[in-house]
């Protein structure tokens, strides 16, 4: 394949040249005439269906964040640690497969891989729909099914890598922000609608629980059908770009760039927090603000199904706003502000946790069996009712502070993904500083920089998503003995981590360098 650049004096913009399989052989998004006449329309169409497919991926990825809290009502008996591990497994798998998913875009084409990745969502949805109805399903089987839900997490990396090729540098922040926000909204949508679809209560109590009980398989069937729609939409409406072709060896070369690892570290703080808190929030609310010894007894306190979706919703909406702010003021500046905001929100959460009343220990197994045998005679102890009522008064503050963390994590998600292509574009411009804009050498360097940025998106996304595994594990491991103390300790750890992330952002990307090192500094270049 020969890469060509339109001459500056051309009167007409080059049209995208198609061949079989919906491959586009000519793509010049930095050419303003090409972009205005043809490029913008094609890019927008691909962005829309990329958002749809990624949205479904996120929903399937986080389906366990809500369903795990409802497994007890379905008749399964799992401990809090087991439930938190089910929540964490998809995040671990989703982070690990983001690298091969990113490499798959140049290998197979963005449109082709979108079809494949959407089809793979049938594995976790159909297996979930079957085994959740088998009362004798062992815990390890659910662990495997939860692991396959991680396929949805990989969709993010391939989708972002693909869309990065379609847009010019000046619009990458907004385009990647919209693409990511559409995916992130999948978390809020699954947490909002799943309780309603399966027959539980929802919409702040406006929808009452079904008298027929919980049917978790319904949500799996819905998303299996939508996955098929995503496959067909990609087949008919998306495109592959020949310019995105790149050998895996060249893409993995970004592992040698220290900026890849710096940004990976920062992305743990932003996206890792978003996905980790999204996964853990339903169980956090249930274990700290809700009491229901057995499904047959009407619970008291705050129902997690009414509020769990709000965090992911706020973070998702904030993400494109973070990309927009990064386009205007620079990604590093906005990223620093986001970490400051997350520290503020974490301090607020710790303040509210200090006001909570610890719950008495749960009933012993023998007592639970007796309650289940005769639920009509059960009465909550006065100590439990007093703690629940006291904590209900604290919940609005807790929720508000938690949503503040989600808001700034969304801002940071958008701004960091603006920084990634900006860093590699800056490196390309420096490498061709002796060449003028529009020269073949400069255009080739910029294309190579775009390929490196797309590869880095996968690496950074993979490392960042590990936070989605670590956060639920941090919350869940010691909860049997003292859940409230464990929650406080976890947030103190997160507070210290955000402070380190803020310091790294400032030192690496914002601090004015020594004159001898000014040539390699990224400060002041719009990153």
Query: Cα dihedral angle (443, 448, 449, 454), rounded to 10 degrees?
Result: 130
Residue 5 above 50 pLDDT? no
Indicate the DSSP class of residue 364.
P
Q: Between 97 and 196, whose confidence is greater? A: 97
434: domain CATH number is: 1.20.1250.20
Please name which of 329, 334, 332, 307 lies closest in space to residue 318, comparing C-alpha atoms.
Answer: 334
Q: Is the pLDDT of residue 247 over 90?
A: no
Regarding predicted confidence, which is higher, 102 or 334? 334
Separation CA 269–CA 509 (nearest Å): 16
At 209 the pLDDT is 54
Name the residue among 422, 95, 431 with its Cα closest to residue 263: 422
| Within a domain: 21 | no
Q: Give pLDDT, residue 10.
A: 44
Q: What is the pLDDT of residues 289-331, one digit of tens each?
A: 888 777 777 888 888 878 888 988 899 889 888 888 888 888 8
Please indicate, yes or no, if residue 3 is contained in any of the structural domains: no
Between CA 42 and CA 238 the distance in angstroms is: 9
- Looking at the chain, the whole-number percentage of residues with pLDDT higher than 70 is 88
What pLDDT was estimated at residue 278? Answer: 87
Give dist(CA 401, CA 349) in Å, integer: 5
Identify the pLDDT of residue 329.
87
Q: What's the pLDDT tens digit per position in 138-174?
A: 999 999 999 999 999 888 888 888 998 899 878 877 7
Q: Are 238 and 49 in contact (CB under 8 A)?
A: yes
Q: Is residue 11 part of a domain?
A: no
Q: Are 121 and 495 in contact (CB under 8 A)?
A: no
Average pLDDT over residues 337-360: 93
pLDDT of residue 210: 54
Tokens at residue 298, please?
A: 């009407």
The predicted structure's pLDDT at residue 520:
57
20 CB-near residues (< 8 Å, 6+ apart): none
Q: Which of 469, 476, 490 is nearest to 353 (CA)?
A: 490
- pLDDT tens for residues 16-60? 555 555 889 888 888 889 999 988 999 999 999 999 999 999 899
Position 336 confidence tier, pLDDT thresholds 50, 70, 90? very high
Domain membership flag for residue 423:
yes
Number of domains in the chain: 1
Torsion of CA 298, 301, 305, 308, to 10 degrees: -160
Q: What is the DSSP string of 48-82?
A: HHHHHHHHHHHHHHTHHHHHHHHTTTTT----HHH
- Per-residue pLDDT of 458-517, as tens digits, reads 788 888 888 888 888 887 655 446 777 778 888 999 999 999 999 999 998 888 765 555
In terms of Cα–Cα distance, which of 353, 359, 356 is closest to 492?
A: 353
Instruction: Determine the pLDDT at residue 226.
Output: 96
In a domain, 8, yes or no: no
Identify the residue with better confidence: 60 or 370: 60
- Tell me whether residue 491 is in a domain: yes
pLDDT at residue 132 is higher than 90: no
Query: Which structural domain range is residue 278 located in?
Result: 27-370+379-520
For residues 416-422, average pLDDT: 83
Question: Is residue 5 one of the residues assigned to a domain?
Answer: no
Mean pLDDT of 380-384: 88
Rounded CA-CA distance 503/509 in Å is 10
**pLDDT at residue 314, as a whole number:** 92
Is the Cβ–Cβ distance between 161 and 458 less than 8 Å?
A: yes
| pLDDT level of residue 6 (50, 70, 90 thresholds) | very low
Look up the pTM and report it: 0.78
Across the range 121-143, mean pLDDT stands at: 91
Whether residue 525 is contained in a domain is answered as: no
């Amino acid at each position: 394949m020969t890469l060509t650049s339109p001459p500056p004096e051309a009167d007409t913009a080059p049209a995208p040249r198609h061949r079989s399989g919906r491959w586009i052989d000519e793509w010049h998004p930095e050419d303003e005439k090409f972009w205005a006449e043809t490029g913008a329309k094609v890019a927008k169409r691909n962005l829309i269906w990329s958002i749809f497919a990624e949205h479904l991926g996120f929903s399937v990825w986080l389906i366990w964040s809500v369903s795990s809290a409802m497994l007890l009502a379905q008749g399964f008996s799992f401990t809090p640690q087991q439930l938190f591990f089910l929540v964490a497994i998809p995040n671990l798998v989703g982070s690990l497969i983001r690298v091969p998913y990113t490499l798959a875009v140049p290998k197979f084409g963005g449109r082709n891989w979108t079809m494949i990745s959407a089809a793979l969502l049938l594995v976790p949805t159909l297996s979930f729909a079957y085994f959740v109805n088998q009362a004798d399903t062992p815990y390890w089987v659910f662990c495997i099914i939860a692991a396959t839900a991680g396929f949805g997490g990989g969709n993010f990396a391939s989708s972002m890598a693909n869309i990065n090729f379609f847009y010019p540098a000046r619009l990458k922040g907004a385009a990647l922000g919209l693409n990511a926000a559409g995916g992130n909204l999948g978390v809020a949508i699954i947490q909002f609608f799943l309780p309603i679809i399966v027959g539980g209560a929802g919409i702040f109590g406006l929808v009452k629980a079904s008298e027929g009980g919980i049917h978790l398989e319904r949500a799996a069937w819905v998303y299996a059908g939508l996955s098929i729609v995503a496959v067909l939409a990609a087949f008919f409406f998306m495109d592959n770009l020949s310019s995105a072709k790149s050998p895996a060896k060249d893409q993995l070369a970004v592992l040698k760039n220290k900026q890849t690892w710096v940004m990976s570290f920062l992305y743990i703080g932003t996206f890792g927090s978003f996905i980790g808190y999204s996964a853990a929030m339903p169980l956090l609310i249930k274990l700290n603000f809700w009491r229901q010894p057995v499904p047959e007894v009407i619970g008291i306190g705050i129902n997690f199904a009414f509020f769990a979706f709000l965090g992911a919703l706020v973070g998702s909406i904030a993400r494109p706003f973070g990309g927009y702010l990064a386009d205007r003021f620079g990604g590093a500046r906005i990223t620093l502000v986001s970490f400051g905001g997350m520290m503020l929100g974490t301090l607020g959460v710790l303040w509210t946790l200090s006001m909570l009343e610890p719950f008495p220990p749960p009933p012993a197994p023998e007592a639970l069996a007796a309650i289940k045998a005769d639920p009509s005679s059960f009465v909550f102890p006065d100590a439990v009712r007093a703690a629940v009522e006291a904590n209900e008064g604290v919940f609005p503050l807790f929720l508000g502070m938690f949503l503040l963390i989600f808001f700034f994590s969304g801002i940071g998600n958008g701004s960091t993904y603006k920084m990634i292509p900006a860093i590699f574009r800056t490196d390309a411009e420096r490498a061709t500083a002796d060449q003028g804009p529009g020269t073949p050498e400069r255009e080739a360097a910029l294309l190579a920089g775009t390929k490196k940025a797309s590869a880095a998106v996968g690496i950074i996304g993979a490392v960042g998503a590990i936070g989605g595994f670590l956060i639920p594990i941090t919350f869940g491991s010691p909860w049997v003995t003292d859940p409230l103390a464990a929650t406080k300790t976890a947030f103190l750890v997160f507070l210290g981590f955000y402070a380190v992330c803020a310091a790294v952002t400032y030192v690496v990307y914002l601090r004015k360098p020594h004159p001898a090192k000014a040539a390699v500094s990224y400060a002041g270049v719009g990153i």
